[in-house]
Amino acid sequence: MKITDVKTFVVGNPWKNWVFVKLFTDEGITGVGEATGGLQTRPNEVAVHELRPLFIGKDPRNITAVWDAMYKGIFLHHSAAVSGIEQACWDILGKSLGVPIWQLLGGKMRPRIRAYANGWYRGPRDPKFFAEAAQAMVEKGYTALKFDPFGNAYRFMERDDERLAISLVRAVREAVGESVDLLIEAHDRFSVSTAIRLGHALAEFNPMWFETPVMSTDIEGTLAVARQVPIPVASGERFTSLEQFAALLAGKVVSIAQPEVLSIGGISRMVRAAAIAEAHEAFVAPHNAQSPLCTVVNTHIGAALPNVLIQECFDDTNAEWSRRIMTGLVEVKNGYIEVPDAPGLGVELLDDEMAKYPYGDRNFLRLFEAGWERRETR
């Protein structure tokens, strides 16, 4: 079997243009993957095509060899484009054997994975709004909610804005009760000293974790915060190397790692990152702020991992048309994602439906601009 062609599709999700990859083979089997970038779209799409000489003509079932050719071909580097191509190879392998990807990763550890909702707080930074929006997600069956209450803060916070942030967390906790886990997102915003102060202020709400309180790639800073706050710290979504996870977890003060399949280099390297976490008695909670396709990718991975904790999910808060642009998607039922059994990923892209939602040059989430929480196309 040989890869004969590749196509890319850009879909204009209002707060992040999604980039999809489709590989074609000489045996008629196709595979899909995702190569979305948070604040760039066209570079990711073009990168897929620029990589053509490194994977066209190769057997997609030799996944490690295809990945290695791309990695070495662009001088020991990988990207979301590399990850998307690698995912599509896994999809082809699964289809060729008639088994789901989780079976290829060692089999099913669990029939379902606990999920937490994100993207549900699209509106004003108002306690009443946050409380009502949180209640609505709990009514959908979610038992864990993630949100960033910190507005457009960068490194420091004005006192009034800090009080508002804490009041938003308080309003959500009071609305959903003590049985629902709250995951507080900080989006790399703060200095170490600010993060420590906020970590202590958040402790009364018993959050499941305080996510990326300082620059994610500042491992020393992350460890400094984790040592001095009374709540768990989670990080790792922006890591691009396995060495970064080893360094973060070796300190024994962070025990929740958040690899992102598009950042770490694909499915195989997600599994390796999870193994590093397991070696340090740590959990993985995969980052996933992409399309419903990426949710499926993470579900296959999580089904086979011994140390998956919980899975991020935007699927119930994305635009309603997002479930019409592809088939074979997973669903969250009573707070859990059901693991699919179809061969490969089990997802097929629908070209005509995707074409209805073209690229938008304002479809980007500017996290340091006021009002970003609304996730509106501007």
Residues 6+ apart with CB under 8 A from 360: 12, 14, 17, 377
The CA-atom distances, in angstroms, between 134 and each of 90, 146, 174, 338 are: 36, 10, 10, 22
Picking from 181, 183, 185, 172, the residue whose alpha carbon sits closest to that of residue 132 is: 172
> Is 187 among the residues known to form the active site?
yes
d(CA 71, CA 327): 31
**3-class SS of residue 154:** strand
The whole-angstrom distance between residue 315's C-alpha and the CA centroid of its chain comes to: 11
The CA-atom distances, in angstroms, between 124 and each of 179, 229, 254 are: 25, 29, 32
d(CA 161, CA 306): 41
Q: Which of 49, 77, 287, 300 is catalytic?
A: 287
Picking from 30, 36, 42, 39, the residue whose alpha carbon sits closest to that of residue 79 is: 36
Return the DSSP state at 204: G
> Is 287 among the residues known to form the active site?
yes
Picking from 182, 186, 109, 192, the residue whose alpha carbon sits closest to that of residue 146 is: 182
Q: Which of 187, 200, 280, 300 is catalytic?
A: 187
First to last CA, the chain: 45
**3-class SS of residue 37:** coil
Are 312 and 302 contacting, i.e. CB atoms less than 8 angstroms apart?
Answer: no
Picking from 348, 345, 266, the residue whose alpha carbon sits closest to that of residue 93 is: 345
Per the listing, tokens 């001088």 go with 75
Residues 6+ apart with CB under 8 A from 222: 212, 213, 214, 216, 233, 235, 248, 254
Catalytic residues: 187, 287
